[in-house]
Structures are given as structure tokens and as C-alpha cells.
Amino acid sequence: MVVKRTPIIHRKGLEVFSLLAVAVIWQFIAVVIVKNDIFLPPFTDVLFSFFEVITDISAFFKDLSTSLMHFSIGLFFALIIGIPVGIIMGWFKAVNRMVDPLIEILRPIPPLAWIPIAIIWLGFTHLSAGFIIFIGAVFPIIINTFTGFKGVPLVYVEAGKVLGCIRDRDLIWYVALPSAMPSIAAGIRIAMGVGWMCLVAAEYFGVSSNGIGYKLWFHYGIHEMNFVIVYMLLLGFIGLIIDRLFRYYIDRRLLKWRSGVVL
């Protein structure tokens, strides 16, 4: 069979058309109907502001790196706390019974509700912003790790045992953890999404004067809604890129042994 290579505009025609249509309608509503830049800035204004933001490379880079730092701090602690907690809960029944009530109490508290605590405990620091992201990210990681461990097929554990892998530590490391990996990876992916969503809140209360979330609030304060929308879109794009990179990495590592990882 001959594979015909078609130009991107043909292959992605509908998608491109839909985006263009939204832009045109947006522009029309803003300029002809609303006529109020604070209520709805025109698409073209947003587009120019967008280029303004990303062409000021050093400022943009500073915002991006600050936000990624907050995000990484939160995710890092969520991983090093969430995975071991999930493992221990999943492996030792008694621990699960002790820890589960605590988790069920803490989990429904919205991450934003932790802001006062974050300020009191950690002050106006990067750690404080990281803390809010941590709160958002840690529970999906705990729960998916726990679920993954609960779902480890008994036959793998027993196969490990008859091959001489008998201590809990070895069974967890060599059998349960790899077997639970797809579930843990799915948890990390959810955690990254939730953590990224918490970024705007984490940078709201003045831990720094950089960061994409911070800039969003800053421009809101001076009523530059075109910039607010630019930072909104940037948050979306970067979130998407993070998610895609993670999924690409995971697929390459897990797809070898698991056809159709549910992520």
C-alpha cells in the first residue's frame, strides 16, 4: 500500500478550522457586541500580548522557572511521601486501618483551604507555594499506589516467594512495586494535573513576584485582561506539555510489557 503524505492542513483540516472559527467569533463578539476590553479583550489584543510575553524571553523564563519550581517542590514531596504511604497501607493491613481514617478526613479539604496554614507554617516562601501543590498532588498518589498494591495478583507474590523472595522488603521491591506501576503512574499523572491546577492559588498569596500564576493575578490587579487571558492560555499549554511528556515517558517504559496501559 502506498501511503500518501498529505500536507498538515489537509490532515488536521477540521481541527484548524474549528480553532480559527472560535478566534473569528471571539473577535466579532468582542469588537462589535461587547466593546469593553476589560469584560472581553479582542482576540487580536490577546494575540499581540501573547507575543509580547513570550518575546520578553528573560522575564518569561523567570516566570516559567519559578512556577516549575513551585510545581516541582510540591510534586517532589507528594512523591516521596505519597508513594511510601500508599505502599505501606497497601501491604500491611493494620497500617491501612490506622491511616485510612486520617486520610479520609484530610482528603476532602480543598488545597486552597490550606493557604492560611501554609503561611503560618512556612511563611511567604517558595516552600509555601509548593505546600499547596503538595496538598493537591499527594492524595491521588497515595490512593493510586494503594489501589495498585491491593491489586497485585497473588500468583506473582507466590511465584516470588517460591523463587526465594521472601522478606516483605524484597517482595515489595521486586514484585509488588513493578506490578503496581501502571496504577502508580496513573496516580502521578492525575497528581500532576491537580498540582498544576493548584498553581494559580499557590502563587496568589504573594510568595514571590514571579511565576505564571502570580503574573495572572498581577495583571488582573491592573485590569489588563488581555494579559490575564494570555497567562491562562499559557497555564493550559504548559500543563498539556507536562502531561504529554510524562505520558510519552511512561508509555515507552510500560508499553513494553503492558499492551494498552490505561492512562
The residues of the shown chain that bind another protein, judged by CB under 8 A, are 155-156, 158-166, 170, 174-175, 178-179, 181, 256-259
CB closer to another protein, 5 vs 256: 256
CB closer to another protein, 163 vs 240: 163
CB closer to another protein, 23 vs 157: 157
* 112 contacts 132 by C-beta, under 8 angstroms: yes
- Least distance (Å) between residue 151 CB and another protein: 13
CB closer to another protein, 46 vs 180: 180
- Least distance (Å) between residue 146 CB and another protein: 19
CB closer to another protein, 4 vs 93: 93
- Least distance (Å) between residue 258 CB and another protein: 7
* 149 contacts 91 by C-beta, under 8 angstroms: yes
* 144 contacts 197 by C-beta, under 8 angstroms: no
- Least distance (Å) between residue 99 CB and another protein: 23
- Least distance (Å) between residue 144 CB and another protein: 17
Which are the contacts of 247, defined by CB distance < 8 A and separation ≥ 6?
189, 263
- Least distance (Å) between residue 98 CB and another protein: 21
CB closer to another protein, 87 vs 234: 87
